[in-house]
Amino acid sequence: MTISQWPAQERPRERLIEQGATALSDAELLAIFLRTGVAGTSAVALARQLLHHFGSLTALLTADKQEFCSIHGLGEAKYVQLQATLELARRYLACEVERSSALSSPQAVRDYLRSHLHGLGEEHFVLLLLDSQHRVIKLERLSRGTIDAASVYPREVVKTTLAANAAAVILAHNHPSGVAEPSQADRHITGRIQQALALVDVPVLDHLVVGSGQSCSFAERGWL
């Protein structure tokens, strides 16, 4: 039986319209994105198979092109659509945070930075510049690649901070492996940047390491 033959109250699209997107399961939301299944398999059944294959929704959404397109029923067109959808979500969340009042909680910071760093295939190190009310001035991307290889220079952090007239900063980078546990290199560069910015009276409020579905705050661990 195809989805069009299901009772209206059980069809994902109709349920979303009547009850809202939050009422749907991961598989149902994914089925709406897929639109169609494959021969003998509905879109919902295909969505469930995909979630089982990848192990989680996060793993599916962050799969590389080769792995994604290797699955029967998917392909380059679906991959492009998915990447565009994810980027729209990132930009929406970033805009919402930038338009709102100050970043008043660790969760607000996590949401903002995850919108920029989650799902990237390589390591990015960013500097979140804040005014005296802890409102976002801008997000500056300082390096791309591992922290060891794509050195983050404290003098460049100071230069960028002063140019933006920032009153405080938050450091952040992602771990493409998905594990948010900071390395010794992470702690070392954080200390160097903190010392450099102390010379111009700009505090480092936090350093957030973004993984897959998790993050680690230096401030919460008492490392700053």
Q: How high is the pLDDT of residue 10?
A: 61
The reported pLDDT for the residue numbered 149 is: 43
Side-by-side strand order, sheet with 168-174: 136-144, 124-130, 168-174, 204-210, 215-217
CATH of domain 102-217: 3.40.140.10
Map out the domains of the chain as residue ranges: 3-74, 102-217
Q: Are strands 136-144 and 215-217 parallel, antiparallel or unpaired?
A: unpaired
**Token representation of residue 166:** 């920032």
C-alpha–C-alpha distance, residues 156 and 165, integer Å? 14
Nearest C-alpha neighbor of 220 from the set 170, 184, 148, 176: 170
Predicted local distance difference test score (pLDDT) of residue 147: 53
pLDDT at 105: 66
**Pair 186, 222: CB distance under 8 Å:** no
Q: Which of 219, 208, 187 is nearest to 114 (CA)?
A: 208
Residue 185 near residue 219 (C-beta atoms within 8 A): no
Cα–Cα distance between 169 and 41 in angstroms, integer?
51
Question: What is the rounded distance in angstroms from the CA atom of residue 176 to the CA atom of residue 148?
Answer: 15
Hey, what are 85's tokens? Answer: 């959808």
Q: Is-above-0.85 flag for pTM? A: no
Block means of pLDDT (10 residues each) for the chain, 224 residues, are 54 84 87 80 85 85 86 84 82 66 66 76 88 87 67 89 95 87 90 96 94 85 92
Count of helices and strands (H, E) across the chain: 9, 5
Q: Please tell me the predicted confidence (pLDDT) of residue 146.
A: 62
